[in-house]
Structure formats: C-alpha cells, structure tokens
Amino acid sequence: MNKYINRLGVLVAEFVVEAAVLQQTLSAFPDVSLTHEAQYLTADGTVRLFFRMAGVDPAAFESTLEADPTVTNARRIDRTDSATLYRVDFTAEGRAKSTFPRWAIDDVVLLEATGTTDGWRIRMRVPDRETLLEYREAYGTRGCSFALQSLSLDQSDGDGLELYLSPSQRDALVSAYELGYFEIPRRISQEELGAELGISAQSVSERLRRAVSSLVESLLGR
C-alpha cells in the first residue's frame, strides 16, 4: 500500500463512534454537546484532551465527569456565556479506547469531532480507503461501534502538492513550471532557476528529480 496517498486523492471520512472516550458522561445528558479543541501527548506520554462543553449546567457536568472511568485530572479552563472549556487526561481505559496514538503513524488528521449522547461524530482526513478500514477495525477491537456517514475526496484549499512533497521540493517544482523551465526551449536555465531560489544549480537538479520521483511514486501507488 502506498504510504503517502492513493491515486484518487486524500479522503475525508465522517463517522460516528459509540462507547468511546467520555461515553459515560455523554450518555448522562441528552442535551450535552462537546466540541474537540485540541489533543496531544504530554512529556510523560499522557494523552491530554481539551474540549468545549455546552448545553448542560457545568456543576452537574463536572460531577459526572469526575466519575467517568476514561478520563482523570479534569480541570475547568475557561467559561463563557455559550460554553465551558475543559482539560482532561486519558486514563488507561480511555487510552485503550482511543486511536489517537496511531494518528501520526497513519498520517490521518482530525478535522472536527463533536460529542453528544449518541457518541462522537468525527470528520477525519485519511490517506486512503485501506487506512479507513483499518480504523474501523481498530475501533471494533476497542469495543466501540463505528458507523460511516460519508466519504468524499478532500476539497480543502491548496494544490495538494504538500501531501507528496517537502516544502523545498514543492517550491522548486512550482517555480520551475511557472518560470518556463519545462518548456521547449527553456525560458530559464538551471543556473538562473537556482538563483531565483537562492540555491545552486546542482541543488535545483536534485530537488526537481526527487519531487518528480515522489509524484510518480504516489500516482502509481508504489
């Protein structure tokens, strides 16, 4: 399987997961809504989650949150008229129900996540269908139900080259195209292109060769 992207492009999947992190708390309040704000690993390897809560009195919510077996160290960070911001750390049980530790390995990106009494509705960018199937299986092994709601090609802004190339490779390739390096005859020499980019002609050659190689590899699925 191509580790970068399938030839059809990056996919955006929307799905609902039940029995996941904070499910006990979500199930206790029919009107609650949690909005994912941030998530990361601390220096000691703890998964830390920030979310905004709306629809429920904070005092009642916090009482239930304290008893949730999937999180600990709950802390109110901020409160506005419309929502309250919280920080929690995953317990061992919470980590066991989460796929977060493998996000970086699989090159997936969380776009949006909203928790209600029905579970977590998640929008995630995934590199290919195989990875999405792996995530469905991963949630199943964690005792969480998985219901796919939609699957589409990523329509985000940008030319998509950042999915295949490093920033320096992308800059070299785009500049070469825009300045006529690939035209016959060439409108700009390798040396002149290097001067535009602030690098040597040899570096231009290497970046273009690697960029083209990466693009061909990704398009051929190798």
**6-41 tens-digit pLDDT:** 444 578 899 999 989 999 999 999 999 999 999 999
Question: 221 falls in which pLDDT band (50, 70, 90)?
Answer: low
Q: What residue spans in the chain does CATH classification 1.10.10 cover?
A: 161-220
Q: Count CA atoms within 13 Å of residue 74 on its CB side.
A: 21
Report yes or no: 165 and 153 within 8 Å, Cβ to Cβ.
no
Show the tokens assigned to 57.
Answer: 């009195």
Question: 69 falls in which pLDDT band (50, 70, 90)?
Answer: very high
Question: 190 falls in which pLDDT band (50, 70, 90)?
Answer: very high
Segment 177-197 mean pLDDT: 93
Show the tokens assigned to 131.
Answer: 């990875």
What's the CATH number for 161-220? 1.10.10
pLDDT value at residue 3? 38
pLDDT value at residue 213? 84
